Amino acid sequence: MPELPEVESLVRGIRTDLIGRSFSKIEFYRKDLRETIPQKRLRQILLGEIIHEVVRRGKYFLIGTNQGFLGVHLGMSGRFVKSDSTQPQVAHTHACFEINSDTQFRYIDPRRFGRLFSVEKNEKNDHPFLAGLGVEPLDKTIDLAKYLFQKSRTRKQPIKNFLMDSSVVVGIGNIYASEALWLSKIHPEQPANTISRNDFSRVADAAREVLNQAIAAGGTTFRDYRDKDGNPGYFQKNLSVYGKVTKPCSRCGGEVLRLTLAGRSTFFCSFCQKLKINN
DNA sequence: ATTTTCTCCTGCATGC
DNA sequence: TGCATGCAGGAGAAAA
């Protein structure tokens, strides 16, 4: 899916279109995505109600009125696109949220790994999809390095899997996990509980750096991601290891390799990201 | 308790 | 060209 930078880019884009407006018509073209869509409740929450909030939480985003929230997850291939009402619908359009007779937002998701759900007014931190989420990596009120170090003491799984665990820290998916570890010169298979406090400082700084840079570039488009206007992001031009198998590392010239961790492609430089036996 | 595996689904690249 | 295979940025549930 889109990871944190892509969802953040999208949310920033749609926020100005939605705040202070309301949906006048909502259409669903199928009854379920990953779960049954609560169509009736979503209409109650949204129709004719002023939108006062559009926020991201991890890779989810919420559109809020005084009645509650529409929760959205884009899965792997989801898009939330602002369209002119006269534009023909593309394949896999599953829902349409109309603001007025010529502007609507369409939810499109070929793989249907995404979700549309309702969140009650006071359920923002208690909804099952949101309650278990870890910290926001860009939250400046959190000492991310300290937090990750403490959380990792009982975790011997590879650091890359640890960084992608959304109950620990949200928003870091397969691309940015590899990129952040490259930037901090740590091997993706390094057991999380063998990483020093000092090294976690580098990991935390690197993760924030990569995420911020990616947001600034409008996200990464490998294949599916588009912003609300259907445009791709540009951060893929700045990727250092993701998808760069056998290419030379831009930092040291070493060979970039691919391995599989938890079933996911993982990329790293075989020369400047060495496994440490003692740490 | 932690960690890996499985699963949902379509589209696309690759190789025979 | 057609067909089979594998892979794709997620994440929850189940199994180990």
Domains and CATH numbers, chain A: 4-123 (3.20.190.10), 144-269 (1.10.8.50)
- What confidence score (pLDDT) does residue A101 get? 86
How far is A15 from A33, CA to CA, in rounded Å?
24
Average pLDDT over residues A209-233: 94
- What confidence score (pLDDT) does residue A277 get? 83
Which pTM does this prediction carry?
0.96
Give the residue carrying structure tokens 């009645």.
A67
Residue A1 has pLDDT above 70, yes or no: no
- Nearest DNA or RNA nucleotide to A262 (CA to C1'): B4
Count helices and strands (H / E) in chain A. 7, 10
Residue A261 has pLDDT above 90, yes or no: yes
- Nearest residue to C12 (CA, C1')? A129
Kindly name the residue from A56, A59, A160, A202 that is annotated as catalytic.
A59
pLDDT digits (tens, 9 = 90+) for A6-58: 999 999 999 999 999 999 999 999 999 999 999 999 999 999 999 999 999 99
Q: Is the CB of A3 under 7 A from strand C?
A: yes
Q: Is the CB of A112 under 7 A from strand C?
A: no
Label residue A279 by pLDDT band (50, 70, 90): very low
Q: For A109-160, where are the E strands, in sequence order?
A: 115-120
How far is A5 from A213, CA to CA, in rounded Å?
9
- What confidence score (pLDDT) does residue A223 get? 86
Instruction: Provide CB contacts within 8 A for A177, sequence distance 6+.
Output: A160, A163, A164, A188, A266
Average pLDDT over residues A247-264: 93
Average pLDDT over residues A139-146: 97
Average pLDDT over residues A143-149: 97
- What confidence score (pLDDT) does residue A222 get? 87
A155 is annotated as an active-site residue: no
Label residue A278 by pLDDT band (50, 70, 90): low
